[in-house]
Amino acid sequence: MLVTTPRLARRLGVGLASTALVLTAACGGATVNGAAPAASGAASSGAACGTVNMAMNDWVGYTADAAVVTYVAENKLGCKVDQKALKEEIAWQGFASGQVDVIMENWGHADLTAKYITQQKVAVDGGPTGNKGQIGWYVPPWLATEHPDILDWNNLNKYADQFKTSESGSQGQLLDGDPSFVTNDEALVKNLNLNYKVVYAGSEAALIQSFRDAEQNKKWVIGYFYSPQWFLSEVPLKKVSLPKYTDGCDTDAQKVACDYPDYTLNKIESAKFASSGSPAANLIKNFTWTNDDQNVVAKYITADKMKPEDAAKKWVDANPDKVDAWLK
């Protein structure tokens, strides 16, 4: 979930040591090396589904998408899904080598689209997920109630001192998630002349806990967040109005001074996989659901502590008509 470059860390341990994939212990996540391409989708196994190499990005909405599609692919189509934990930008590199067949939830990335789809032609747009994404700055409900003018960015400097932390020093803290998330926040702070410093919580889980604690204990927290996200049903964060987004206002990442656009989230497939005839490629192309659907599965995984595969089964069993439509 940076416009050119959003979230719970996924630790399923499923197929993360693929021969063509090098995982690192560093915070930057896995990298894709230049080894010989692995077999992609059904291309190596005729009419059989074969193995689907699925990138796993680092937020629970993505995990929900991937869990449901993986469950359907394996249990209804006989596929083997190899989930590979990769940061957003790194995952795109796998299309050229054949080590990644699909990214299940893409948030924009116009630069990567231009490079891998338009120029290199190793990837294709897999169609919308049905989810509508929104990124922005949020405060806990109590703060918006007691200081309603804080929801206008023009008033943020007035409250900067209230948001100071040991990490932000003399400036107010603007809390972000993982540095790899889609964010323009450092440029926004600079270009809007705000007396704030972007501080990274490090993960979606840490970001959520900060907002939860802020609401429960009336702490001053302002930070990056997004929807769809199940947590908003627990704590209905209030969005700060930034300068209105207009087409092209975020073209230069260094000069961004406008709000984030609304995102039509989509899937990205490798060109080889998309044309392979794999029933999994057809499933992924047809896969579409709503923000509410995603939030239900994400809540099962996060709040209810269900394993992703169990959460997926529960949703699939409750929504046979939607699943059947994907399989046509």
Mean pLDDT computed over every residue of the chain: 86
The neighbour count for residue 158, using CB atoms within 10 Å, is 12
pLDDT at 12 over 50: no
pLDDT at 248 over 50: yes
pLDDT at 6 over 70: no
pLDDT at 4 over 80: no
In the predicted model, what is the mean pLDDT of residues 200-210? 93
Phi, psi of 212 (to 5 degrees): -65, -45
What percent of the chain stands above pLDDT 70? Answer: 86
Per-residue pLDDT of 263-284, as tens digits, reads 899 999 999 999 999 999 999 9
What is the location of CATH 3.40.190.100 in the chain?
Answer: 134-262
What is the location of CATH 3.40.190.10 in the chain?
Answer: 21-131+266-326
In the predicted model, what is the mean pLDDT of residues 299-324? 96
Band (pLDDT 50/70/90 cuts) for residue 204 is: confident
Taking domain 134-262, whether its CATH number is 3.40.190.100 is answered by yes
CATH of the domain spanning 21-131+266-326: 3.40.190.10
The neighbour count for residue 252, using CB atoms within 10 Å, is 12
pLDDT at position 45: 37
CA distance linking residue 307 with residue 121, whole number of Å:
36
CA distance linking residue 94 with residue 291, whole number of Å:
28
Instruction: Report helix, strand or coil for 134.
Output: strand
pLDDT at position 109: 85
Q: Report cis status (omega within 30 of 0) of the bond before 261.
A: no
pLDDT at 197 over 80: yes
Residues 140 and 235: beta-carbon distance below 8 Å: yes
pLDDT at 168 over 50: yes
